[in-house]
Amino acid sequence: MPPDSHRNEPRRFRARQCVGEGGCGLRFPVDDGSPLGASCPHCGLPTSFVDDAYPSHEAPRGDAVPRHAARLGALLDNIRSLRNVGSMFRTADGVGLELVVLGGVTPTPAHPGFAKTALGAESSVPWRGDADALRAASQCVQDGWELWALEGGPRARNLFAADVLDAAKDRAIMLVVGHEVSGVDPRILALCREVLYLPMVGVKGSLNVSVAFGVAAYALSCRVA
């Protein structure tokens, strides 16, 4: 089992701090009882344990939380980074997605490095791959899914608008996210019932795709109780 797989006994940690003569003050956690961190990772001076050991808690299970969309899946259109896909598998596991469709170059759990980033979620999340993400999108529509893309552009509506969240209620939604640079293929966007954006207030025009996916997957799946 991976070290942070669900429902393990809580791991215990303890703070070390670089507090000796001339120390830089860095305070950081190490596993309780671990010899690691005896030298400060910043300045190399000796560190000391400070304060008591503490458990690192997992989030409570959410089985009793009312669902918002009746069914939720995801289509990953040509996501090139293994880290992003692993992170999205972890989100898919956490949210309880029914299906993840991996289109085009998106790495699948068959990739030798996949488990390192998905940390066990690769065995709990149902998935299928298709070399052609457009064909996969059409198949999802034929299977009764509504495609809802996360993307900017002229059709995009704010995901947090009340009518958008209302419209998600009790639907079968396949959330579509796109390539880290080029975004969702326009031919796939044309098949989408909704195109939704997450508002950006800083200098950047988009979020990391796995972060955007996490925000949207939770917003669409958990009803405010």
Ligand X SMILES: C[S@@+](CC[C@H](N)C(=O)[O-])C[C@H]1O[C@@H](n2cnc3c(N)ncnc32)[C@H](O)[C@@H]1O
Enumerate binding residues for ligand X (CB under 6 A). 150-152, 177-178, 180-181, 183-184, 197-198, 200, 205-207, 209, 212
* Residue with Cβ nearer ligand X (47 or 210): 210
Contact 180, 150 (CB under 8 A): no
Q: Give the other-Cβ count within 10 Å of 13's Cβ.
A: 16
Which of 105, 104, 79 shows the shortest CA–CA distance to 92? 79
CB 197 to ligand X: min, Å? 4
- Tokens for 175, please give them: 């959330």
Which of 176, 177, 164 shows the shortest CA–CA distance to 220? 164
Contact 43, 18 (CB under 8 A): yes
Radius of gyration of the chain (CA): 21
CB 7 to ligand X: min, Å? 31
* Residue with Cβ nearer ligand X (7 or 204): 204
* Residue with Cβ nearer ligand X (98 or 180): 180
DSSP for 112-178 reads TTHHHHHTTGGGTS-EEEES-HHHHHHHHHHTTPEEEEE--STT-EETTSHHHHHHHTT-EEEEEEE
CB 142 to ligand X: min, Å? 22
* Residue with Cβ nearer ligand X (109 or 214): 214
* Residue with Cβ nearer ligand X (125 or 189): 189
CA geometry: angle 55, 10, 5, nearest 5 deg? 140
* Residue with Cβ nearer ligand X (38 or 200): 200
CB 134 to ligand X: min, Å? 15
Contact 62, 37 (CB under 8 A): no
CB 23 to ligand X: min, Å? 40
CB 52 to ligand X: min, Å? 41
Instruction: State the residue number with the nearest CB to ligand X.
Output: 178
